[in-house]
Structure 1
Amino acid sequence: MSIASVIFVCALVSVTDFGWSYQIKTVEELKNARGTLLSKEFYRSTGHNVTLDENEKIVNKIMMDLKYEEIRQGYLHPDNWVTSNPLSEVLDAINKSKLFGMIQSMPKGGILHAHDAALGSTKTFIKLTYAPHTWICFVDEDSVLFAFAKDYPKDKCSGKWKLMETLRKAGNFSDESLIGKFSIQTKTFENTKEVWKHFIKTFVNTDNLMEYKPNFEEYVRSFLKECLDDGVQYMEIRSGVPELFDIDGNMNTKEETIMLIQEILKEFKSKNPDFIDMKIIYGKNRRKSATKTLDYLNETLTLSKKFPELIIGFDLVNQEDEGYSLLEHAPLLLNQPLNYFFHAGETNWFGTTVDENLIDAVLLGTKRIGHGYALTKHPEIKEMVKLNDICVEISPISNKMLHYVKDLRNHPVASFIADDVPIVISSDDPSFFNTAPLSHDFYMTFVGIASAHSDLRFLKQLAINSIKYSGMSEDEKTIAHRVWSKKWNNWIMKTIEQHHKVHDFIAPFERK
């Protein structure tokens, strides 16, 4: 069967019951039955409730022509297919893709799963190293420390502190040498444990760089702009809320850091009326003891009471395979007046306390599930997720980069899409993968994970979901949907003008 047959065949028939294959006697009966099954499958999938207007159908035709051509080329040249190759080898080709360009310009709603320390671009992190009085210490091949001092730093380091300005003037230092310290995108790893080891090092490399107060202000402003430029209008970030320091060593309290974030947000929203908002899920290390977790919960309660419009819930972060399970933390987590947004099921294991975090997350009342990679192995929990409308935050590129899946066509979210499990697409740590805040994850999902038949309705549903399942209040969601819809409609008209393809079109599976 040709690729055209695989992708394009779809019989437009009503959804009715029919006999099984042993009762089918003609090709026509086979086609009718096949079309009915395809229709039934579509009406179980993500996006089936979305209706496109005439202008959206035009954009859909443009987009699907591009998508089908990319899939056709992938079918003909599987060695070059974007989802099965290392990201570093296909990123340039993706960035040149017309389909990616359309997705990047699309208003995609919000990011509901990203970590504050890994949301700004690599370029932004490198820019921070140009701040006056920046010192660097090379610990080993993969690790660096930064300090900020008018004189030689007092901070401990196994190597020697060097002033960044002096290194650059001497001409024996290049910014490219920092890319490997701020990213794992160009590295090769053998397994999940190895990549996580280097992944955590990357967080350490950037932590004290962005916790310097002037840098933190620059960093937050920068990632807000980068997100908005990437079609993101809303964010919920996992953050431990750093205690910032200045050049004289004075420390901010967490409350002062939050007030600084509020000031930056107020300024950014005043200059960008199509930006909706940003909120924080207080995220702390799941590897810590019960005593520390109790401290974290108390901190979250204090901060959420003082800043309820910004601090909306709690999560335990870091590698699940190496951390304490939710069951072990349960005595502390039960009966807390907090919204939970738990990381759960980010593992390839089955029948362990790690993948069974999914069970405890749901029983503890989590509002959403971070990753949920192992959810297909727990059908009862999957049914509970659907029944209780619990959204799963999917970060496909992160799952690939951290060695949970090699080829994204095999990502378990494909089954969630087919069965309309509530999902949003997020990016987790785009800084460290050298990807855009959200567009690359949308692109990979659209062209490589979702059905070839999934079209603009699917993408629109993902954007709607990012508002529907956010931690905003209902009033905030109403306003957010209105702001997003305005930008969406403007994008539709602009896309039509750019492509000059104004003609009638009925999308795949569209019913009159």
Structure 2
Amino acid sequence: MSGRLALPSLLLAVIVSSFCPATSMSGDDMRNQLLTREKMMRIGGQLVLTQEEELANQRLKALKEAEMHKALSKGSILPSMHFFQAKNLIEKSEVFNILKKMPKGAALHVHDFSITSPDWLVKNATYRPHCYFCFTRRGIPQFRFAHPTPPTPKPAECPQWVLLEKFRKGLHNVSEFDNSLLRNLTLMTENPHVTYTDQDAIWAKFKTIFFVMGDLVRYAPVFRDYLSQGLEEFYQDNVLYLEIRASLYPKREGPVHLPLGEEFWKEVYELDGTVYSREWLVRTYEEVAHNFAKTHPGFIGIKLIFSDHRTKNESLIKKSIQTAMDLRAKFPGIVAGFDLVWSPIHPTEDPSLFPDWEGTSVDRNLLDAVILNSTRIGHGFALSKHPAVLAEAWKKNIPIEVCPISNQQVLRLVSDLRNHPAAVMMAAGYPMVISSDDPAAFGAKGLSYDFYEAFMGIGGMSADLRTLKQLAINSIRYSALSETEKKSAMDTWAERWQKFVAGLARGPK
């Protein structure tokens, strides 16, 4: 649908040949030629819009320009603000509300324990029977589902398990307590620059969030419902397909029954002590997605990218790769690949000194990704600093997964998204997709917030409906779906896109 050319040099050659020799042009003609060339180079620049799409684009651009001019006059450009402080303002934006309705295709970079809002975990999971909690010495909550009461934890962890149902009955203000639990499941804070003074502070809290979430989600009944709720939140945000980076923690070959000991809580479990294998987890993902599709028209499905931590030693990573290959062989329809996740900072390096600085070990994993023919590059924040690697990645048509809010808040790589390296790459037409990484931890849902930041900030004033359309198309084109599945997914998306465009072109009723 978009006919992307292979290299920017070829694109320039084609465009330049269609113009008169430079010597016969006036200054204005040369200026217009350059602007036209740049317009065609941008992501979506070669798309030809239908008449209805042109009308929709005119309305969208008018709203965007009005919003940006208002923001400039007030000095409050939302993509230049920390997301935690901009979120409420974004939700009032007419552009944002249009983007929520837009069929965005697929989310290709999201993590398993952060696809569902923490609100749901507090209001649903912690209100279930047999849910116990305690606070560690650092004030971090831990959760266990058990019947009868779980074994007394080690003193270094927390004093004793308390049944949440009983505890809440003795409270005068349950909402206040629930909000205190919620604060342990999200990075959201009123003063992010004060709360998180550097990357160390961010990553410490980020790790804690995943440990706390894991306590709740590893209870098998919650695990199933958590996944279904996550799919619901993305579906309501007009995302029809997800590729989930899943840790699949258990190492066992099959379900076993364990005594109620501490190891019992580190895997997906039932109240009776049954713990489940990786194979069970994959089948459960598959079953939940299949059942979800039955009641949600147009939902395309999910695939899993088995993930492990890059901080592990070489021997353990080799084992993980073999596990990924075995799972792929057993479940070819849902297991799509393997990825190393988490902060690339080496344990001996200070992340505050090397925030993705060119020439350090932090960004050199890009070379390995390109050499090994990676299907996609996660974030790719440093790619623009490596021209040879960039050229090779472009030649191999390896897209980057841009996660605007994650880069801005969690990784603290850029404070103003107008200055994100992806802005240059988007202007040059480098293949990319927009995703949300860990939306639950950021107080976001689905993809709309990240699309807003990409459209209003990274894309600059020139980004329009063509940009959005190409990004949505890219999310299907660069997915792990088979060619047959991609064609079907594209047809489903195109039908919804046409309805969206028609509504946008008509304007408000």
Q: What is the alpha-carbon distance in structure 1 between the residues aligned to residue 42 and residue 320 of structure 2? A: 39
Displacement of 1:33? 2.0
Partner of 2:70: 73
Displacement of 1:19? 4.7
Look up the SS of the partner of 2:430 in the other structure: coil
Q: What is the alpha-carbon distance in structure 1 between the residues aligned to residue 131 and residue 121 of structure 2? A: 13
Q: What is the alpha-carbon distance in structure 1 between the residues aligned to residue 18 and residue 453 of structure 2? A: 31
Q: What is the alpha-carbon distance in structure 1 between the residues aligned to residue 135 and residue 152 of structure 2? A: 13
Aligned CA distance change for structure 1 residues 359 and 54 (closer, same or farther; 3 Å): same
Q: Among residues 66, 87, 97, which one is paired with 1:91 in the alignment?
A: 87
AA in 2 matched with 1:102: I
Displacement of 1:495? 3.1
Aligned CA distance change for structure 1 residues 155 and 308 (closer, same or farther; 3 Å): farther
Partner of 2:413: 404
Aligned CA distance change for structure 1 residues 468 and 454 (closer, same or farther; 3 Å): same
Larger displacement relative to structure 2 (395-404 or 118-127): 118-127
Query: Contact conserved, 2:247 with 2:307, CA < 8 A, in 1?
Result: yes
Displacement of 1:142? 5.7
Aligned CA distance change for structure 1 residues 404 and 417 (closer, same or farther; 3 Å): same
Displacement of 1:297? 1.4
Look up the SS of the partner of 1:278 in the other structure: strand
**2:471 matches 1:462:** yes
Displacement of 1:291? 2.4
**2:320 matches 1:296:** yes
Look up the SS of the partner of 1:129 in the other structure: helix
**2:43 matches 1:46:** yes
Q: What is the alpha-carbon distance in structure 1 between the residues aligned to residue 210 and residue 92 of structure 2? A: 29
**2:422 matches 1:452:** no
Aligned CA distance change for structure 1 residues 437 and 293 (closer, same or farther; 3 Å): same
Q: What is the alpha-carbon distance in structure 2 between the residues aligned to residue 142 and residue 87 of structure 1? A: 26
Q: What is the alpha-carbon distance in structure 1 between the residues aligned to residue 333 and residue 187 of structure 2? A: 34
AA in 1 matched with 2:292: F
Partner of 1:181: 184
AA in 2 matched with 1:482: D
**2:287 matches 1:279:** no
Q: What is the alpha-carbon distance in structure 1 between the residues aligned to residue 37 and residue 29 of structure 2? A: 12
Look up the SS of the partner of 2:413 in the other structure: coil
Partner of 1:352: 360
Partner of 2:427: 418
AA in 2 matched with 1:164: L
Partner of 2:149: 152
AA in 1 matched with 2:135: F
**2:118 matches 1:115:** no
Partner of 2:167: 167
Q: CA RMSD in A?
A: 2.1
Query: Contact conserved, 1:15 with 1:36, CA < 8 A, in 2?
Result: no
- List aligned pairs for 1:115-134, cutoff 5 A: 115-126=111-122, 127-134=124-131
**2:207 matches 1:195:** no
Q: What is the alpha-carbon distance in structure 1 between the residues aligned to residue 165 and residue 59 of structure 2? A: 49
Structure 1 unpaired stretches of 5+: 1-12, 326-345, 501-512
Provide, for residues 248-296 of structure 1, a one-character-per-residue CA deviation record: whole Å limited to 9, x for no partner.
2210111112112211111111111211110000011111122221221
Look up the SS of the partner of 1:83 in the other structure: helix
Provide, for residues 394-435 of structure 1, a one-character-per-residue CA deviation record: whole Å limited to 9, x for no partner.
001000112111111111000110111110000000000001
Aligned CA distance change for structure 1 residues 155 and 442 (closer, same or farther; 3 Å): farther
Query: Contact conserved, 2:308 with 2:339, CA < 8 A, in 1?
Result: yes
Aligned CA distance change for structure 1 residues 381 and 246 (closer, same or farther; 3 Å): same
**2:36 matches 1:59:** no
Partner of 1:492: 501
Aligned CA distance change for structure 1 residues 17 and 242 (closer, same or farther; 3 Å): farther
Look up the SS of the partner of 2:104 in the other structure: coil
Q: How many residues align?
A: 461
Q: What is the alpha-carbon distance in structure 1 between the residues aligned to residue 462 and residue 158 of structure 2? A: 56
Structure 2 unpaired stretches of 5+: 1-15, 251-267
AA in 2 matched with 1:291: S
Q: What is the alpha-carbon distance in structure 2 between the residues aligned to residue 201 and residue 142 of structure 1? A: 11
Displacement of 1:60? 1.1
AA in 1 matched with 2:316: K
Provide, for residues 310-353 of structure 1, a one-character-per-residue CA deviation record: whole Å limited to 9, x for no partner.
1110001111013699xxxxxxxxxxxxxxxxxxxx95221012
AA in 1 matched with 2:151: K
AA in 2 matched with 1:81: I
Provide, for residues 212-260 of structure 1, a one-character-per-residue CA deviation record: whole Å limited to 9, x for no partner.
0010111011000100000101110100124420112210111112112
AA in 2 matched with 1:375: L
> Which runs of structure 1 show a deviation greater than 6 angstroms over 4 or more consecutive aligned residues?
none
- List aligned pairs for 1:283-432, cutoff 5 A: 283-322=307-346, 347-402=355-410, 403-432=412-441
